[in-house]
């Protein structure tokens, strides 16, 4: 009965959040639908909801005692963030949406604690923290990420050419090999697939692994793997353009083939998780024996 009442309260808090943050949410999802840099946002709410649904039976054992003060403090933080985000004198225009949506996520966290208790926060920490991925990053930060992806991708491609004995001259993000000069442009940074790969890796690690250390390893591996898939993509297109057909440099594989290389990187993540799962399975008997000995 108490859980049913908590769900009703959560619905009220959620409805209130929609009323307060309606315009900010509208702008966020508009960016996600029309700008590849933010397209990963579309998967955040469904994934978080799925984790809540899968573990919802655990809520019955949670207590709401001693959670009022914590939830009130976070509610206040959320309202202060909402107020500040509407004041250009406090928050610069570029960061207003970021601060506003971050405040919304804090409101959702506070609502969850108020309805289900602080003990439930520990159980549902991942899906609650995962909601922060819905926060749209400011353009200046995205530009920095894109420049880093460009530079590291250009470095990786240059090293690959050298490793295979292909003469290469590099000037920043411009690479010249016999018969071809390529530029690792903003579009070649693959910011969209890189962010989706990172988010996907976090979700898969949370779903299939138990150890926090192993989950962290998978997430961290996704970062250099994002650069690695860019290197493979640029190198492959370059070789096809030089040795097969120049049309590969401007064709569908160039403009729409990102999913192919993303799938390859995701396959590496699956293999890593499979190996880590086997390591976890091997470690269980030892822990069981230790517990039995006690």
pLDDT tens readout for residues 126-153 = 999 999 999 999 999 999 999 999 999 9
Q: Please tell me the predicted confidence (pLDDT) of residue 256.
A: 65
Alpha-carbon dihedral sign for residues 37, 43, 47, 48: positive
> What local confidence, expressed as pLDDT, does residue 64 receive?
59
Provide the pLDDT confidence category of residue 257 given band limits of 50, 70 and 90: low
- Which one has a higher pLDDT value, 120 or 102? 102
**What pLDDT score was predicted for residue 122?**
82
Band the pLDDT of 245: cuts 50, 70, 90.
confident
**pLDDT given for residue 255 in this prediction:** 62
Q: Which two tokens stand for residue 216?
A: 């962290």
Q: At what angle do helices 44-54 and 191-208 cross, to 10 degrees?
A: 0
Position 293 scores a pLDDT of 40
Q: Is the pLDDT of residue 13 over 50?
A: yes
pLDDT the model gives residue 182: 85
Q: How confident is the model at residue 294 (pLDDT cuts 50, 70, 90)?
A: very low
- pLDDT higher than threshold 60 for residue 285: no
Write down the pLDDT at residue 253.
62
Mean residue pLDDT of the chain comes to: 86
Distance from C-alpha of 144 to C-alpha of 43, rounded to nearest angstrom? 23
More confident residue, 7 or 128: 128
Per-residue pLDDT at 290 exceeds 60? no
- Please give the model's pTM, rounded to 2 decimal places: 0.86
Contact 125, 202 (CB under 8 A): no
pLDDT at position 201: 95
Which tokens belong to 34?
A: 């029309």
């Amino acid at each position: 009965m108490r859980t049913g009442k908590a769900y009703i309260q959560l619905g009220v808090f959620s409805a209130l959040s929609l009323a307060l943050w309606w315009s900010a949410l509208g702008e966020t999802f508009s960016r996600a639908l029309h700008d590849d840099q933010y397209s990963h946002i579309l998967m955040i709410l469904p994934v978080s909801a799925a984790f809540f649904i899968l573990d919802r039976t655990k809520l019955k054992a949670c207590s709401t005692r001693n959670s009022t003060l914590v939830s009130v403090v976070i509610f206040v933080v959320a309202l202060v963030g909402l107020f500040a985000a509407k004041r250009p004198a406090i928050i610069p225009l570029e960061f207003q949406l970021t601060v506003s949506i971050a405040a919304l996520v804090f409101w959702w966290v506070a609502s969850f604690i108020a309805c289900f208790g602080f003990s439930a926060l520990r159980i549902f920490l991942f899906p609650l923290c995962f909601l922060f991925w819905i926060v749209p990053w400011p353009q200046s930060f995205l530009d920095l990420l894109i420049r880093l992806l460009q530079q590291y991708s250009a470095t990786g491609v240059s090293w690959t050419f050298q490793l295979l004995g292909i003469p290469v001259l590099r000037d920043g993000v411009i690479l010249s090999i016999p018969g071809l000069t390529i530029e690792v442009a903003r579009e070649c940074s693959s910011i969209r697939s890189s962010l989706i790969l990172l988010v996907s890796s976090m979700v898969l690690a949370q779903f299939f692994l138990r150890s926090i250390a192993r989950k962290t390893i998978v997430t961290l591996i996704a970062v250099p793997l994002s650069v690695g898939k860019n290197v493979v993509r640029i190198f492959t297109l370059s070789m096809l353009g030089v040795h097969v057909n120049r049309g590969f440099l401007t064709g569908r594989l160039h403009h729409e083939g990102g999913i192919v290389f993303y799938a390859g990187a995701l396959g590496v993540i699956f293999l890593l998780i499979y190996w880590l799962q086997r390591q976890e399975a091997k470690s269980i008997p030892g822990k069981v024996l230790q517990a039995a000995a006690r």
